Amino acid sequence: MCGIVGYVGAGNAQDIILDGLSKLEYRGYDSAGISIIESGKMKTRKLSGRLGVLAGSLEKDPISGTIGMGHTRWATHGAPTDDNAHPHTNGKGTIAVIHNGIIENYRPIKDELLALGYKFKSETDTEVIAHLLDHYYEGDLLQAVFKTEARLRGAYALVVMCESSPDEIIAIRHESPIILGVGEGENFIASDIPAILKYTNKVVYIENKDIVRLTRSGYEIFGEDRKRIDRQVRTIEWDLESATKEGYEHFMLKEIYQQPSVISETINRRLDENGSLFLENIAIDEDTIKLINKIYVVGCGTAYHAGLVGRYLLQEFLKVDAQAEIASEFRYSDHYIDDKTLVVIVSQSGETMDTIGALKAAKAKGARILSITNVVGSSIARESDDIFYTWAGPEIAVASTKAYTTQLTAFYILALYFGKLKGTLEDKCYDEILAELKTLPGKVEASLPAFAEKAKAAAQEIKDSKSIFYLGRGLDYYTALEGALKLKEISYIHTEAFPAGELKHGTIALIEEGTPVIAVATQQSIYEKMVSNIKEVKARGAVVTGITRKRNTDLSEVADTVIYLEESFNIFMPLLSVVYPQLLAYYTSLAKGNDVDKPRNLAKSVTVE
């Protein structure tokens, strides 16, 4: 979603802001803009297209100044045009605002402003804020911001500057995330840490409904009651290097190859000196876990797919009813939830609007909230009773890979830990499963080179396909869902996942001569059934790639190509079987000449409903 960078200090604001915005490109955007106060005058430049278009214009005709803000826009209200790009200004161009999120009540405010004679240049919801600020401004920007903010409904992060106050930037956080970077004689505001990490690793997570005023010499934060409040300054431990490609052609490829090490990290951080599991940030004890009589696992997209596997594990190990739900559905549904319900929230970014909405809805009904997230201090982490950090490091590619496998790892650990705590998992099983879990990073590592070779070749075969199908049963169906999502989101080929047994109830009509079908068949108890389903699609002309365990050599008699996985327990197969589909999606996108890391229409962090 939109990227925000604000700077006030002694440095060249234009360079710092452009550099910061470039670090946020992964969020997805379609236009970019900047406002800088140059010799006492607000100058705003904004253009549709990539950041390079704006940078090119600024190179030819720079704006020099030491206070400014920039924005990359992901269109919601109005097409990605120059006029709709941010910053938006009042009529005189002296007050500028950038915004991430949606102003839900912008329509009546716009009507009111039109009646007062204000003229609008864009189709955006954001422009009303610039005019409202103008309306309320009486020489004190902070007071004008307080009055303006009180009028707004929706989710937003806003940054505001005014020509008459050339030493201050004011930012508001309301549901949409924003962070403050604390420097020496300079301060920063941004929608995400990579934007400012080159300049400072001291960060304040702005809390929901806070307003922050930053100047060259310091900053003040005002809480919801608009009284001054202190917020903790945190030191970011990861460096910018972990947010760069490190020699890989794309972030996605780097992140796929990082999986062995980040899965290890996720496991090793939970092992005590005896090799047993311990969980910090999780306060659920034996009594609490025994009281839980219902579990919901909630997330969006890839996180939801991890949740499907997680639901299975929790139900199996804790012997309690568990359900996985899509966050945007769950938040508006009428589930029976009470204080005996555990809701497990899964979100890489910790900032997905629908997932936050689901969390809040469940919390309001009394559920205990355990979140699995990758971002320390994210909104979801802060709203939760218990937190499991996945320690995957920053995931930059829009298509999620290492976040998924570390989310799976989190579920293995949680199910084991809670199963033991509750007494529903025997010690012997616990020991065997934990021992096997520790071997997974090595198994993923061992499979990567051969999978990459095979995926590269297969990409050439499938890149011009009209439709592709993934099939699976049980846990394999969840891998099929994730494999299909990966392929469609970056190759733009229509790809669907089906429970293999369901095909003949309609979908098999779509199979024709040459249709690629990828069949995941790792669950031994239903392996024969998968073989029959593969035969059904083969008989109708499908070209089948099977993904199975090493021992099932007979699959080569039925499928055209077989990808063999390292042996492991059934429950661990989702983690091993997803790696080939990730690589297949990557190489197919590459073969089609697509922007692998930044696929069209998508954003990394979905902070609107």
State the residues that interact with ligand F6R by CB under 6 A: 300-303, 347-349, 352, 355, 399-400, 485, 489, 606
Look up residue 567 and give its DSSP letter: P
d(CA 494, CA 555): 26
Q: How deeply is 165 buried, as exposed, middle or buried, from its count of CB atoms within 10 A (0-12, 13-18, 19+)?
A: buried
d(CA 484, CA 477): 10
Q: What tokens were used for 461?
A: 């075969």
Q: Which residue is nearest to ligand F6R (CB)?
A: 301
**Closest distance to ligand F6R from the beta carbon of 355 (Å):** 5
Q: What tokens were used for 31?
A: 């236009």
CB neighbourhood size of 121 (10 A): 13
Using alpha carbons only, give the angle 366, 223, 190 rounded to the nearest 5 degrees. Answer: 100
92, 148, 189, 451 from 5: Cα distances, Å: 23, 21, 6, 40
Strand partners, 561: 545
**Closest distance to ligand F6R from the beta carbon of 588 (Å):** 14
Nearest to ligand F6R of 122, 390 (CB atom): 390
Contact 128, 106 (CB under 8 A): yes
Nearest to ligand F6R of 406, 548 (CB atom): 406
**Closest distance to ligand F6R from the beta carbon of 598 (Å):** 12
550 alpha-carbon distance from chain centroid: 34
**Closest distance to ligand F6R from the beta carbon of 184 (Å):** 33
Nearest to ligand F6R of 421, 606 (CB atom): 606
Q: To which residue do tokens 């394999």 refer?
A: 476
Nearest to ligand F6R of 347, 479 (CB atom): 347
Select which of 2, 254, 300, 402 is catalytic.
2
325 alpha-carbon distance from chain centroid: 17
**Closest distance to ligand F6R from the beta carbon of 585 (Å):** 9
CA atoms within 13 A on the CB side of 85: 24
Q: What tokens were used for 162?
A: 């005014």
d(CA 162, CA 146): 14
**Closest distance to ligand F6R from the beta carbon of 411 (Å):** 14
Nearest to ligand F6R of 406, 552 (CB atom): 406
Contact 254, 248 (CB under 8 A): yes
d(CA 415, CA 372): 13
174, 390, 396, 515 from 250: Cα distances, Å: 33, 22, 10, 29
Nearest to ligand F6R of 188, 411 (CB atom): 411
Select which of 402, 420, 454, 604 is catalytic.
604
Is 592 a catalytic site residue? no
d(CA 118, CA 135): 9
Nearest to ligand F6R of 155, 300 (CB atom): 300
Is 604 a catalytic site residue? yes
d(CA 18, CA 58): 10
Q: What tokens were used for 341?
A: 């319900």
Nearest to ligand F6R of 72, 200 (CB atom): 72
d(CA 519, CA 517): 6
**Closest distance to ligand F6R from the beta carbon of 64 (Å):** 38
Nearest to ligand F6R of 302, 479 (CB atom): 302
**Closest distance to ligand F6R from the beta carbon of 485 (Å):** 6
**Closest distance to ligand F6R from the beta carbon of 352 (Å):** 3
Quick one: CA dihedral 391, 395, 400, 402, positive or negative? Answer: negative
User: Catalytic site residues?
Assistant: 2, 604
